[in-house]
Amino acid sequence: MIYTTNPIESLNRQFRKTTKIKTQFPTDAAAMKMLYLTVVRMQEKWNSRVKNWGQIIAQLSIHFEDRVARYL
């Protein structure tokens, strides 16, 4: 299983898009709230399944038995 930085780049792009629309915030808390709401909106899109997860977890269990066992 190989992960890329595409999800991170996508989130950063959404942050830039959100802050570009509104360039001034009255307080730091307002800016943080806007970024939080962006994350909440993005989480709705993060529901895809990983292909071949059974095979992946089996391989991880072999190589990292002590780490994976406590989460199964």
Within-domain flag for 19: yes
Q: In terms of residue numbers, what domain contains 16?
A: 6-71
Task: pLDDT band for 41, please (50, 70, 90 cuts).
Answer: confident
Within-domain flag for 1: no
Neighbouring residues of 25: CB distance < 8 A, sequence distance ≥ 6: 31, 34
Q: In terms of pTM, does the model score above 0.75? A: no
Within-domain flag for 44: yes
72 pLDDT more than 60:
yes
